[in-house]
Amino acid sequence: MVVGADLLSVEKLSVSFPLLRGSVEAVRSLSMTIRPGRVTALVGESGSGKSALGRAIMGIETPSARVSGRAVFHDPAGDGPVDLIALPRDGRQIRNIRGNRIGMIFQEPMTSFSAVHTIGNQIEEVLRIHTVLSPRERRARSEEMLGLVGFDKPDHVFNMYPFELSGGMRQRAMIAMALVGRPSLLIADEPTTALDVTIQAQILKLLKDMQVRLGMAVLLITHDLGVVASMADEVVVMYRGEVMEAGSVGDIFLNAQHPYTKGLMAAVPTFEMARHERLKPLREIRVDTAGLLGSCARPVVEEDDVLLSVRNVSKIFRPKHSSGFFAKPSPPIRAVNDVSFDIKRGETLGLVGESGCGKTTLSKILMRGVRADAGAVVYNGADEPIDVLSAEGENLRHLRSSIQMVFQDPVSSLSPRMTVRGIISEPLEIHDKGDSAERIELVRRLLHAVGLPSSAGGRYPHSFSGGQRQRIGIARALALGPGLVICDEPVSALDVSVQAQVLNLMKDLKAELCLTYLFISHNLAVVNYMADRVAVMYAGRIVEIAPCDIIMNQAVHPYTRKLIAAVPAPDLDCRIDFNLAGESSTIARRAWKRHFLDEGDPDNLAHVDLGNGHWVLARRGVDAKDLRV
C-alpha cells in the first residue's frame, strides 16, 4: 500500500435531480479525499447534498439523477484505482465493491429495510453475496455483529421483522448490516441520530475499534458536532453542494475560518445556556404567527393544571416469527410497563431513555395509534376531560385536532404519493379550517418557517433530504395549532443551524399559542434547552421524572446519570470516554445499587418522591436519603 495514497478521491463530483420544471443541484463539482484508516467527517446544513454525495459514490443514486465527475477508489486490497462513477451501473465490478469494500449506513434506517424479510435475513445476505461462508457461519457472524451493535438477544432480533423494532434498534441493525462485510470504507450517513447517548457511545466505540483493527476508513456524515469532535480525524464542511472548509479536526474546531463553519459552531445548544436564551441559527427566520394558527386559548398558566394525565399504561407486543407458524413463539416484549405521569398545560415534558425502551410506543398510545393493554389517559383540553383511549365521535374529533404528533420516522409518516403541499394542508382539510386560498398561504408560511423553499410544495416527499422531510413533518404537526404536540425525535436529522431555527420556532409558538409539548429526544442538550420537566424511561418504565434542572444536575437514578455522562460535546477537549460510556446498559446495570433493581418482580419497585416534583423508581420503602448518595 502506497503511503499517503487516498482511499477515495472525489473529483469535481456533481449530482443533480431533474424536477418537473428546473432541477436541484444537490452536489456541485465537489472535490474531497478520504484517506485510508481515517475518519472523515462531513458536516453541513440539512439538504446540502451530503447523502447525495454518499449515494453517488456507491453508484446507487436514483436512475433519474444526473451524476458526473469522478470518484476514484483505491482499494488497498484490490488491484488499483477505479473510478466508481464510470463503472457500469450494477456491473460485476461495482457489485464487488458495494457492501464488500464500501459499506453504507443509510440515513433513514426505518425505511431502508424490506418489511417482509427478517432482519437476520437481510444482514446475512451481505455475507451470502461476498463470502463463501456456510449458512451457519453466516448466522454466527451476523448475530455476533448484532451483539456488537448493542442488542441483548441477537438471536431473537435475527428473526424479527423490521417493523417490530424501535427506530434506534433499526438503526443499529442497519449499522450491523454495513459492518458485517468488513468494508475498507464505511459511508456512515447519520449513523447515530436515533440512538440515545449511551448506545451512541457504544456504536461510536465500535466504529473506532473497527477502524483501528481493520484499517477501515469512515466517511462520517453527521450534524452532531459533538460526535465529530470525538470521532473525526478530518472534517469537510459542506454547504449547498459545495465544500466551504476542509481540514483536520483541529483546524476546524480550533481555527474555523469560514463564516459558515463559525455559524454552525455557534448554533449548538449547550448545557450552559440559560433557559430563556435563544439559539443562534445561521439565519434567523421571523415567522408571522399572528392570525395564522389561532391565538392562545388560555393565557394564564396555573400550577397543577394537568393537560394530559397518564395512568398505569402498559403495552405488550407478541412478536411474529418468520420460521413458520408452528414455531414456538418468542417471549412477549413489554414495551410499556405501568407508566404514569402528567403533562401540565403549557409545559414541555422531555422524555428521554434508552433506544427501544418504549418511548415511541408510549407516545403512540397517547395518540391512540397503538392500543394500550391497560391503563387510562385523560385529556383535559376541552371543556370536560376526555378519556383518550375510548373517546368516540365528537370527542375523538376534538382529540384529533388538538393532539398532533411529529413522527420519529419522517419518511414513512409522509404519504409517498402526496405532494408536500397536500401533506401539510391535509389536517386543515380534515378539520375544515379555512378555504383553499388560505390553506395555500398557510402552507407557504409554514414551509418558510421550517426553512424550506415554497417550491417544495409541489414536490413529493421522497425527493427531499432526511432533514427536509423531518421539517415537513413538523410543519404538518403545527399546521392546526394543536393543544398538545408530541414530538418524537423532531430534530434528530437536523444540522445544528436548522435545528436551532426549528427549536426557536417551536419555542416561539409555545409562548404565543400556549402549546404543550411532549418532547422525545436523545439529544440531552436539546432536551435541556426545550424541556421544563424531564422523564427518563428505561425498559418500558419511567425511572425518574423531575424538573429539567434537577435531572441535569442532581439525577439520582444510575441510568440517568450514565446518560448525562455520555453526552458528547462539540469540544476537542472533552471527547467521550468510549471505554466508560460505551458499555452496554445491561452490563452497566450490574453495577446498579440494589435499590433500583426489581430482582425479577416488577412489583418490587415503586415511584419514590424526592420532593420538588422529583420522583424516582426504586425499591418500595427505600429511604430517599439512601438514594441520593
HSE-CB for 321 with a 13 A CA cutoff? 13
- Shortest distance, CB of residue 26 to other proteins, whole angstroms? 9
Say if CB 484 and CB 308 are below 8 A apart: yes
Q: Is residue 37 part of the contact set for other proteins (CB under 8 A)?
A: yes
Look at residue 281 and give its three-state secondary structure.
coil
Q: Is residue 305 part of the contact set for other proteins (CB under 8 A)?
A: no
Tell me how far apart the alpha carbons of residues 128 and 138 are, in angstroms, rounded to a whole number. 7
Q: How many residues does the chain have?
A: 629
Select 21 or 371, whichever has its Cβ closest to Mg ion: 371
Say if CB 173 and CB 123 are below 8 A apart: yes
Radius of gyration of the chain (CA): 24
The per-residue DSSP string of 95-151 comes to HHHBTTTEEEE-S-HHHHS-TTS-HHHHHHHHHHHH----HHHHHHHHHHHHHHTT-
Q: Which of residues 139-168 bind ligand ATP (CB under 6 A)?
A: 163-168
Residues paired with residue 102 on neighbouring β-strands, in sequence order: 98, 185
Q: Is residue 206 part of the contact set for ligand ATP (CB under 6 A)?
A: no
- Shortest distance, CB of residue 284 to other proteins, whole angstroms? 10
φ, ψ for residue 148 (rounded to 5)?
-60, -35
Q: Is residue 466 part of the contact set for Mg ion (CB under 5 A)?
A: yes
- Shortest distance, CB of residue 614 to Mg ion, whole angstroms? 25
Say if CB 110 and CB 473 are below 8 A apart: no
Say if CB 508 and CB 541 are below 8 A apart: no
Stretch that binds Mg ion, among 102-110, 235-243, 397-405, 618-626 (CB under 5 A): 102-110
Distances (CA, A) of 432 to 428, 429, 436: 6, 5, 10
Nearest residue to 361 (alpha-carbon basis) of 328, 405, 308: 405
Tell me how far apart the alpha carbons of residues 410 and 108 are, in angstroms, rounded to a whole number. 9
Show the site string, 318-337: x = touches ligand ATP by CB under 6 A, - = not: -x-------------x-x--
Give the contacts of 209 (CB within 8 A, at least 6 positions apart): none
Q: Is residue 560 part of the contact set for ligand ATP (CB under 6 A)?
A: no
**Interface pick for other proteins out of 413, 465, 492, 516 (rule CB under 8 A):** 413
Q: Which of residues 350-379 bind Mg ion (CB under 5 A)?
A: 360
- Shortest distance, CB of residue 329 to ligand ATP, whole angstroms? 12
- Shortest distance, CB of residue 624 to ligand ATP, whole angstroms? 28
Select 244 or 480, whichever has its Cβ closest to ligand ATP: 244
Q: Is residue 422 part of the contact set for other proteins (CB under 8 A)?
A: yes
Q: Which residues of 294-307 are buried (b: 16+ CB within 10 A; e: fewer)?
A: eeeeeeeeeeeeeb
DSSP 20: S
CA angle 147, 467, 572 (to 5 degrees): 65
Q: Is residue 473 part of the contact set for ligand ATP (CB under 6 A)?
A: no
Query: Where would I find the beta strands (DSSP E) of 295-354?
Result: 306-317, 333-344, 348-353
Q: Is residue 460 part of the contact set for other proteins (CB under 8 A)?
A: yes
**Interface pick for ligand ATP out of 14, 46, 184, 528 (rule CB under 6 A):** 46
Select 232 or 352, whichever has its Cβ closest to other proteins: 232
Spatial strand order in the sheet of 82-83: 8-18, 66-73, 82-83
- Shortest distance, CB of residue 154 to ligand ATP, whole angstroms? 13
Q: Is residue 169 part of the contact set for ligand ATP (CB under 6 A)?
A: yes
**Interface pick for other proteins out of 9, 100, 289, 528 (rule CB under 8 A):** 100
**Interface pick for ligand ATP out of 289, 408, 492, 499 (rule CB under 6 A):** 408
Select 228 or 610, whichever has its Cβ closest to ligand ATP: 228
Look at residue 238 and give its three-state secondary structure.
strand
**Interface pick for ligand ATP out of 230, 468, 499, 523 (rule CB under 6 A):** 468
Q: Which of residues 41-70 bind other proteins (CB under 8 A)?
A: 55, 58, 60, 62, 64
Select 91 or 613, whichever has its Cβ closest to other proteins: 91
**Interface pick for ligand ATP out of 464, 517, 519, 538 (rule CB under 6 A):** 464
Instruction: Find where cell 451483539 sits.
Output: 147
**Interface pick for other proteins out of 416, 511, 609, 623 (rule CB under 8 A):** 416
Show the site string, 350-369: x = touches ligand ATP by CB under 6 A, - = not: ---x-xxxxxxx--------
Spatial strand order in the sheet of 533-538: 403-406, 484-488, 516-520, 348-353, 533-538, 541-547, 615-619, 605-609
What the block records as the C-alpha cell of 196 is 440515545
Q: Is residue 450 part of the contact set for ligand ATP (CB under 6 A)?
A: no
**Interface pick for ligand ATP out of 381, 410, 467, 568 (rule CB under 6 A):** 467
Q: Which of residues 128-167 bind other proteins (CB under 8 A)?
A: 129-130, 161, 163
Q: Which of residues 159-198 bind Mg ion (CB under 5 A)?
A: 166-167
What the block records as the C-alpha cell of 361 is 410506543
DSSP 323: S
**Interface pick for other proteins out of 74, 153, 334, 368 (rule CB under 8 A):** 368
Distances (CA, A) of 546 to 113, 361, 485, 520, 553: 37, 21, 20, 15, 11
Q: Is residue 9 part of the contact set for Mg ion (CB under 5 A)?
A: no
- Shortest distance, CB of residue 308 to ligand ATP, whole angstroms? 18
Q: Is residue 184 part of the contact set for other proteins (CB under 8 A)?
A: no
Count interface residues toward Mg ion (CB under 5 A): 8
Q: Using CB under 6 A as the criterion, which residues of the chain lie in contact with ligand ATP when the complex forms?
A: 17, 24, 26, 44, 46-52, 62, 107, 163-169, 194, 317, 319, 333, 335, 353, 355-361, 408, 463-468, 493, 495
Q: Using CB under 5 A as the criterion, which residues of the chain lie in contact with Mg ion when the complex forms?
A: 51, 107, 166-167, 360, 408, 465-466
